[in-house]
Amino acid sequence: NGFHPTGGGKLPFEAIAPVQRTVDTVTVPSGYDWAPIIRWGDPLFDDSPEFDLENQTGASQAKQFGYNSDYLDVFSDGGNDRTGFLVNSHEYTNENIMFSPEYLKSNPKDVIEAAIEAHGLSIVDLKRGGKGQKWEYVRGGRRNRRITGSTLFTVDGPAAGSDLLKTKDDTTGTKVLGTLNNCAGGTTPWGTVLSGEENFNQYFVGTGAEAERRIGISPGPSSRRWETVDPRFNLNNEGYANEANRFGWIVEIDPEDPKSTPVKHTALGRFKHEAGTAVISRDGYAVVYSGDDERNDYAYKFVSRQKYRKGDKKHNMTLLSEGTLYVAQFNGNSPESEIDGTGDVPSDGDFDGWGRWIPLVKNDRSLVPGFTVEEVLVNTRLAADTVNATAMDRPEDFETNPVTGKVYMALTNNSQREAGGLHEANPIPGNRDGHVIEMTERRGDHAAERFNWNILFLAGDPAQEGNHAYFDGVPLDQVSPISCPDNLAFDSEGNLWVSTDGQPGTIGYCDALHKVTLEGRNRGLVEQFLAVPADAETCGPVIHDRDNSVFVAVQHPGEGGDWGAHTSYFPDFVPEGPLKGDKVAVPRPAIVQVFSTTGNNG
């Protein structure tokens, strides 16, 4: 079928063929198998109730694994192959396939309270027989924890305590209940986890204010109607005008300490945060890259004021409290006439150029005329709109290559990229399939204020008409079709792994995980490793190639279906019958481990 068998690497595989969008299973390469580790509703604690679809409440869901798994990391305890833990975020809920129509109707309050508790993150202990083997989750594990839409957070950084963050429930502007729409994230070099609060706008009823509009909060009933149960979700209610300002941050969690209070870091700005990828710069500063996932919004980075101290977690957990917040400007180096919307490479041989990191805030000072530091951090988009930042095609995940230090950003798509607004860094009109940009910070220093960039690939299905696929010179009959890149990861050898969100609606295939070779003669080669079930998005991913495993979070399986007309029954595959117990007849977001059955890697 023209797919290119790959050799080498610690997880050698032959690319699978793309999988038709209705296929309801996890598809893996020959020589590999998969198993779920934990699913929505699985009990986390000794006293957790059994999963029961007809009896879901806030109290039950608060003790069970949450819904719509997104960011994932999997840790093996130091020097121990048999115990570990995972951290996973739960982005949002799909009520129409979580609850029966009867339950939705008769228990509206329970439904909303369960949904609030299904959001957030889970931390779950793991165990296994030894290296390279399958993990199982540990019910009642010492680190097990649910963080939800009602968990207490503290707020730090220059906007903590600002009038813009005060409500009648929190007159200090420093204590927030809950985290919402936690999308991609990152594990810090000091062992904490960062999570981005992304599309938090959808939970609030707006007042019509400009700052609300810029972040997508509109007046009128919210789609989830949480305002009917908790007045803080309606910004028109007295004392709650600022409640939405308390969401849209990067949050930091210490997964090793289940009693710790997680923190919202205002120093990193407020927008639809996707990812929070932390790396230590050449000179020892903590740097966090984060995208704002919106059509024509921006890419950001934060550089800490203080330096990282190896082994001093307490100190390192203060690094994201103060520093410089930057927004990115991308400049092309080819004539505009060569960016003609065809996807043809400019005559200098690449979609490439240089860029600037434009500072918005330095420590406690605003660098944006007309904005106080609090205003820049709370209404970051409005501030960035004034400084010539570059409007991008929906910045999703950012990752840094552990081998080369280069930085990668997924631009998932942009239906609003106008033909008249093309740009060398965003060169496709109506960009349906997205692209990935490779950035090299000046002198290889993550704290630098200048960078060079190039497009690693323009996604697409080369076999389909009207595609713009370009993979840095790799023959198009050798690449797997790919569309809507979202989450990124690296293996130990510096290969990029790209998961997708949206392929079913663009190129007609199930969402997927692909390996992309970055160095050598196969640079640009995209090879599909797996496909997730019908209507699901591939999240995570985590590549433990030295440990025989790839992990993915299967998010929103069966999202396009409805109760009684499900398009997926993953991962229990019980098409009808029980609504209670270990296997149920609905799709369940889950964490999946993929492993080589020959185990001869590493």
* Burial class (CB within 10 angstroms; exposed 0-12, middle 13-18, buried 19+) of 446: buried
Residue 559 touches ligand FEO, criterion: CB under 6 A: no
**Alpha-carbon distances of 580 from 94, 95, 114, 415, rounded to whole Å:** 18, 17, 16, 41
Closest to Ca ion by CB, 29 or 427: 427
Q: Using the rule CB under 6 A, which residue among 197, 243, 293, 511 binds ligand FEO?
A: 293
Closest to Ca ion by CB, 13 or 471: 471
Q: Answer for the pair 401, 386: CB distance below 8 angstroms, yes or no.
A: no
Interacting partner of 352 out of Ca ion, ligand FEO, none (Cβ under 5 to 8 A depending on kind): Ca ion
Q: Using the rule CB under 6 A, which residue among 396, 441, 511, 527 binds ligand FEO?
A: 396
Closest to ligand FEO by CB, 125 or 396: 396
Distance of CA 293 to the CA centre of its chain: 10
Residues numbered 73 to 102 that lie near ligand FEO (CB under 6 A) are 91
Residue 348 touches Ca ion, criterion: CB under 5 A: yes
Count of residues that interact with ligand FEO, criterion CB under 6 A:
7
Interacting partner of 333 out of ligand FEO, Ca ion, none (Cβ under 5 to 8 A depending on kind): Ca ion
Residues numbered 481 to 520 that lie near ligand FEO (CB under 6 A) are 486
Q: Answer for the pair 539, 499: CB distance below 8 angstroms, yes or no.
A: yes
DSSP 123-185: EEEEE-SSTTS--EE-TT-TT-EEE-TT-EEEEESTTTT-GGG--SS-TTS-EEE----EEEE
State residue 511 phi and psi, 5-degree precision. Answer: -60, 160
CA distance 172 to 180: 21
Q: Using the rule CB under 6 A, which residue among 26, 165, 183, 235 binds ligand FEO?
A: 183
Closest to Ca ion by CB, 53 or 184: 184
Q: Answer for the pair 396, 274: CB distance below 8 angstroms, yes or no.
A: yes
Closest to Ca ion by CB, 375 or 438: 438
CA distance 122 to 471: 37
Residue 294 touches ligand FEO, criterion: CB under 6 A: no
Residue 150 touches Ca ion, criterion: CB under 5 A: no
Interacting partner of 572 out of Ca ion, ligand FEO, none (Cβ under 5 to 8 A depending on kind): none
Interacting partner of 334 out of Ca ion, ligand FEO, none (Cβ under 5 to 8 A depending on kind): Ca ion
Interacting partner of 91 out of Ca ion, ligand FEO, none (Cβ under 5 to 8 A depending on kind): ligand FEO
Q: Give the CA-trace dihedral at 583, 584, 585, 590, to 10 degrees.
A: -80
Closest to Ca ion by CB, 195 or 548: 195
Spatial CB neighbours of 600, under 8 Å, sequence gap ≥ 6: none
Stretch that binds Ca ion, among 203-211, 312-320, 494-502, 556-564 (CB under 5 A): 494-502
Counting Cα atoms < 13 Å in the Cβ hemisphere of 125 gives: 15
Which DSSP letter does residue 345 get? P
**Alpha-carbon distances of 250 from 196, 267, 364, 381, rounded to whole Å:** 5, 9, 18, 15
Residue 486 touches Ca ion, criterion: CB under 5 A: yes
CA distance 574 to 267: 47
Structure tokens, 484: 């809507």
Interacting partner of 198 out of Ca ion, ligand FEO, none (Cβ under 5 to 8 A depending on kind): ligand FEO
Counting Cα atoms < 13 Å in the Cβ hemisphere of 129 gives: 3
Q: Answer for the pair 600, 41: CB distance below 8 angstroms, yes or no.
A: no
CA distance 220 to 470: 43
Interacting partner of 346 out of Ca ion, ligand FEO, none (Cβ under 5 to 8 A depending on kind): Ca ion
What x/- string results for residues 263 through 292 when contact with ligand FEO is judged by CB under 6 A?
A: -----------x------------------
What x/- string results for residues 445 through 484 when contact with ligand FEO is judged by CB under 6 A?
A: ----------------------------------------
Name the minimum Å distance from CB 380 to Ca ion. Answer: 19
Name the minimum Å distance from CB 412 to Ca ion. Answer: 7
What x/- string results for residues 366 through 405 when contact with Ca ion is judged by CB under 5 A?
A: ------------------------------x---------
Residue 493 touches Ca ion, criterion: CB under 5 A: no
Q: Which of 41, 34, 109 is nearest to 69 (CA)?
A: 41
Structure tokens, 102: 């009867």
CA distance 13 to 226: 46
Structure tokens, 303: 């550089």
Residue 183 touches Ca ion, criterion: CB under 5 A: yes
Name the minimum Å distance from CB 186 to Ca ion. Answer: 12
Which DSSP letter does residue 226 get? G
- Looking up tokens 């790839």 gives 550
List residues near Ca ion by CB under 5 A: 183-184, 333-334, 346, 348, 352, 396, 486, 501
List residues near ligand FEO by CB under 6 A: 91, 183, 198, 274, 293, 396, 486
